[in-house]
Amino acid sequence: MKIALIAHDEKKDDLLRFIDKHLVFFKNQELYATGTTGSRIIEHTGLDVHRCKSGPLGGDQEIGAMVANKAIDCIIFFRDPLTAQPHEPDVSALLRLSDVYDVPLATNEGTAEAVLYHLSHKDRG
């Protein structure tokens, strides 16, 4: 399964803890991430991650293009709702594309837990 991992600066540590908690799951997936998030994941976990550009430099749009081309199966995007983001239009476009193409999108740890549970159990019947 191809999973995109994204986190705003204030949420990167939260995403790393989430990945640690589910490391066995993530080891068996094809991972994509925006630039800094991808670097942090690689450094922290040693996982193989395909890195796109940083979010403000077009990384969200790169992942959005992958969604539109049906090359991403799931997005985990730990957003910081309390800090203005300079690339908010790109973030909104990515969220819209996930809806258009029916790609599961988790924007916080609670929904990420639910999405991972579903993905882990969907082939069991």
CA 122 – CA 37 distance, rounded (Å): 27
Q: What is the pLDDT of residue 125?
A: 54
Q: What is the pLDDT of residue 89?
A: 83
- Clarify whether 60 is annotated catalytic: yes
- How far apart CA 40 and CA 100 sit, in angstroms, is 30
Domain ranges in the chain are 2-124
Beta bridge partners of 50: 32
Domain 2-124 indexed as CATH 3.40.50.1380: yes
Those residues of the chain that have pLDDT short of 70 are: 123-125
> What residues are paired with 55 via a beta bridge?
none
pTM of the model: 0.94
Known binding residues for substrate: 8, 12, 34-37, 54-55, 87
Feature table: binding site: 8, 12, 34-37, 54-55, 87
Write down the catalytic residue from 20, 60, 102, 123. 60
